[in-house]
Amino acid sequence: MAAGILGDTDTVYPLSLRLAGRLAVVVGGGPVAVRRVAGLRTADADVLVVAPELSPSLADLAARGLISARQRSYQITDLEGAWLVLACTSRAEVNEAVAADADMMRLWCVRADDGGASAAWVPAVGRAGGATVAVNADRNPRRAAALRDACMAAVEAMPRDESAQDGAAGRPQAGGPGWVSIVGGGPGDPGLITVAGLERLRSADVVVTDRLAPLGLLAGLPPDVEVIDAAKVPAGPGMRQENINRLLVEHARAGRSVVRLKGGDPFVFGRGREEADACQAAGVPCDVVPGVTSAVSVPAAAGIPVTHRGLSQGFTVVTGHAGSDDARSTVDWAALAASRTTLVLLMAVEHAAGIAEALIAAGMPAETPAACVADGWSGQQRVVTAALADLAPAMKEADISNPAVLIIGETARYAERSNR
């Protein structure tokens, strides 16, 4: 879907361009050029940037071979073979020359500095649910952006059976065979799901949800969407993994759009790969949408960076669902104690005392800073801080339970005591 909203005095022909594999030339190397290059790369264009100086971002893209660059002044020969030209310099005379050369060569040229003298405009663009909204508003960029956002809201509110699904990553179109998307919902705050994850959720007929998924997202689903609670409660009831796999396959084979909604990232202790394998073995189309992992985001909710210059040059994420003396544990606690990096422990509340003992026995100082963040990114978030040797007792006194993330290392000093 494309929409053009035009001023009364303008006569233009709205058009969407397929630029994949076609040359687009950007003249200029500053901030405007960065924005234009970003859009062209999204369209898979072959991008050539011409400028005496390149911004750091453009220089990096060129160094990695993701765009081509000619670091010199513009020449008319730079337009040879181009399908589209964008004049983005800060010098009006250069932009005017580029536009004149493009016009002579019958190339469409966008002038960033003078919309009235430009043969083409770049609209305000938004994408959602398989639709592209492009808005021009009489060369008023703020009004165009506001109108685009209003159009996007209308697209997102459109009933699912009236809107084609996102065709990215080979996903089927509406009305076709079923599919499964394994979606990471982030650490719990509904606002932290990715745009791609939210689009999948809005296209779903069936949502199979986890206990740690952002359940607030379910409230906005249409009433005809089937929600299946597949929560696994530690040491409590829960749906077996093989039954979850079977549900995903059965609903997809019945022609339904299925979202497996998980907390955090589905590939970080989330069994996402197991579910993707089950779909693949059954011949069911399946994709994976990454999520914001709690291993990094929950410490951040309490002000704790997992790395920090001068304090920690790395971090290790490990599961603590099995104690340090449990035969099921394959974690080398002695190696972690000697690593001098931040340790992030998930599902470790029950075994926090034993893990601390193992680390201290392996040489980690008992006074190492440590923190526990429970129910991160929620209104119930709580933060407990203590030296490593005292963390488990402090957690017990505070009656901490899962979900919680433990952080051990110098960066834990940054923990903010106040609750959210």
Task: Give which of 276, 271, 262, 277 is closest to 240, Cα–Cα.
Answer: 271
Rg for the chain, CA atoms, rounded: 26
Give CA–CA dist 269/294, Å, rounded.
11
DSSP-derived secondary structure letter, 322: S
- Note the helical H segments in 212-345: 241-253, 272-281, 294-301, 333-337
Question: Could you give the angle at the alpha carbon of 70 between the alpha carbons of 69 and 76, nearest 5°?
Answer: 120
| 262 part of the active site | no
Strand partners, 25: 48, 85
What is the C-alpha end-to-end distance of the chain, expressed in Å? 41
Question: Could you give the angle at the alpha carbon of 293 between the alpha carbons of 406 and 317, nearest 5°?
Answer: 45
Give CA–CA dist 48/74, Å, rounded.
12
The beta-carbon contacts of 93-100 under 8 Å, at least 24 apart in sequence, are 94/27, 95/27, 98/27, 98/74
Local structure of 261: helix, strand or coil = strand
- E-assigned strands of 20-175? 23-27, 46-50, 68-70, 84-87, 108-111, 124-128, 131-135
Residue of 46, 78, 166, 210 marked catalytic: 210
Local structure of 256: helix, strand or coil = coil
Give CA–CA dist 284/257, Å, rounded.
11
For residues 26-55, b (16+ Cβ closer than 10 Å) or e, as one string?
Answer: bbbbbebbbebbeebbeeebbbbbbbeebb
Residue matched to tokens 């940037």: 49
Examine residue 214 and say whether the peptide bond preceding it is cis (omega within 30 degrees of 0). no
Is the CB of residue 185 less than 8 Å from the CB of residue 193?
yes
Which two tokens mark 195?
A: 């745009």
Give CA–CA dist 348/361, Å, rounded.
18
Residue matched to tokens 């911004």: 55
Which sequence positions are flagged as catalytic? 210, 232
